[in-house]
């Protein structure tokens, strides 16, 4: 297995720069793994593929306005992109500006002062604010968009899911952007259940794998939570013969991470355990789960996802679920059919 095995050509014109309106009018490419067939639909029609007792698992993280600006004592302006909160005052940040060594101080524009505590990898720094920075977000914060989106986003809420509740992400769980409150209500009336997890998405999610052997890549760590309420819903779904449908790769990582720490009949969950005996437990903590082809999925039966960057850990994850060759062939079909790619693009339902 080589990283180049997950490469494909994508002209820039295929990268969606703005979201469609309404959200659920995006296109939906349905891939049935076993049959190898494709169907072209509109996202609002997704209910035709879902059954009563199926469980949609949605990531309720909310993107924070993590892009802020500060001044050095010399007056020079620097950009700070908040990546992860370490504690009440300390954050890992990506800095845009020179001379920011350990011990350097900056003053956030219309916000608190801060000190660089540690130089991390490349442009990453550990910074400690003089007071919590979150209360200043409404005044100083800007929503960070992925580097491949160049158009200005007039409504920042369009880079949030309609069910976003838990602030903490530097990027949106984009598979969920297609849902509207009305569509979720319609699915509920159809008998489709919903449950929520939280995984705070880091900007590393956009980073391509640079090692020639993907197994040598050190995947980013993200914080996630699967509550006991969601665990109960998953167990009930499995035992009643329903499907667990992950909305987005972030939900996949959370579900599969939790499965690694769950027990059933005093043995670690594996593919030999029947749905009748299925048990998953609540889980909270960091995950660095790296899903490559060959991985055996323990929880996820189907997934909703967008189209991913070449040579990224995300295209490797969906390749593990549906097969590398099948995914790459599907992407070629999507290009021929004019689907829109990446964060504001169209969706896939992989059954």
Give yes or no for residue 182 having a pLDDT over 50: yes
Give yes or no for residue 267 having a pLDDT over 80: no
Give, as one character, the DSSP assignment of residue 349. E
Res 252: pLDDT: 98
Q: What does R_g of the chain's alpha carbons equal in angstroms?
A: 21
d(CA 193, CA 197): 14
Order the strands of the 37-42 sheet from edge to edge.
37-42, 27-32, 347-350, 302-306, 244-247, 55-59, 193-199, 222-226, 283-287
Q: List pLDDT tens digits, range 295-333.
A: 999 999 999 999 999 999 999 999 999 999 999 999 999
Domain map of the chain by residue range? Answer: 3-63+154-350, 67-140
- State the average pLDDT over residues 46-62: 98
Helix axes 313-322, 324-336, angle to 10 degrees: 110
d(CA 109, CA 99): 18
User: Is residue 166 very low, low, confident or very high in pLDDT (cuts 50, 70, 90)?
Assistant: very high
Res 51: pLDDT: 97
| CATH level 2 (architecture), domain 67-140 | Beta Barrel (2.40)
The three-state DSSP-derived secondary structure of 235-261 is HHHHHCCCCEEEECHHHHHHHHHHHCC
Cβ pair 20, 155 in contact under 8 A: no
Give yes or no for residue 196 having a pLDDT over 90: yes
Q: What is the pTM of this model?
A: 0.89
Res 272: pLDDT: 43
Res 228: pLDDT: 97
Tell me if the bond preceding 22 is cis, omega within 30° of 0.
yes
| CATH level 2 (architecture), domain 3-63+154-350 | 3-Layer(aba) Sandwich (3.40)
User: Is residue 134 very low, low, confident or very high in pLDDT (cuts 50, 70, 90)?
Assistant: very high
- State the average pLDDT over residues 342-349: 98
Question: Where does residue 191 fall: left (phi above 0), alpha (psi -120 to 50 degrees), or beta otherwise?
Answer: left
Cβ pair 108, 140 in contact under 8 A: yes
Give yes or no for residue 273 having a pLDDT over 70: no
User: Is residue 278 very low, low, confident or very high in pLDDT (cuts 50, 70, 90)?
Assistant: low
Closest CA to 350 of 300, 281, 303, 309: 303
Res 265: pLDDT: 37
- State the average pLDDT over residues 39-49: 98
Res 341: pLDDT: 98
């Amino acid at each position: 297995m080589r990283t180049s095995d997950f490469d494909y050509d994508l002209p820039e014109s295929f990268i969606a720069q703005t979201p469609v309106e309404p959200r659920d009018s995006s296109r939906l490419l349905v891939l049935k793994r076993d049959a190898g067939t494709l169907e072209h639909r509109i996202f609002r029609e997704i209910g035709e593929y879902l059954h009563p007792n199926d469980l949609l698992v949605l990531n309720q993280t909310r993107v924070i306005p993590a892009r802020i600006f500060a001044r050095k004592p010399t007056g020079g302006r620097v950009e700070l992109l908040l990546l992860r909160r370490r504690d009440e005052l300390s954050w890992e940040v990506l800095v845009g500006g020179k001379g920011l060594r350990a011990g350097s101080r900056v003053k956030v524009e219309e916000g608190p002062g801060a000190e660089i505590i540690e130089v991390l990898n490349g442009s990453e720094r550990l910074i400690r604010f003089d007071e919590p920075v979150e209360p200043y977000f409404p005044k100083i914060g800007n929503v960070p968009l992925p580097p491949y989106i160049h158009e200005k986003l007039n409504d920042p809420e369009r880079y949030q899911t309609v069910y976003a509740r838990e602030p903490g992400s530097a990027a949106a769980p984009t598979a969920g952007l297609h849902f509207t409150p009305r569509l979720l209500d319609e699915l509920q009336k159809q008998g489709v259940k919903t449950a929520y997890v939280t995984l705070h998405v880091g900007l590393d999610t956009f980073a391509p794998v640079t090692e020639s052997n993907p197994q040598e890549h050190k995947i980013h760590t993200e914080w996630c939570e699967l509550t006991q309420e969601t665990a109960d819903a998953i167990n009930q779904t499995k035992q009643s013969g329903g499907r667990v449908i992950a909305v987005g790769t972030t939900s996949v990582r959370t579900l599969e991470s939790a499965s690694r720490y769950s027990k059933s009949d005093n043995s670690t969950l594996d593919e030999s355990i029947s749905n009748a005996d299925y048990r998953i437990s609540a889980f909270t903590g960091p995950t660095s789960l790296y899903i490559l082809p060959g991985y055996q999925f323990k929880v996820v039966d189907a997934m909703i996802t967008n189209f991913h960057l070449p040579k990224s850990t995300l295209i490797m994850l969906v390749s593990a679920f549906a097969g590398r060759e099948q995914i790459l062939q599907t992407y070629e079909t999507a290009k021929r059919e004019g689907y829109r790619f990446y964060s504001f693009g169209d969706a896939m339902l992989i059954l």
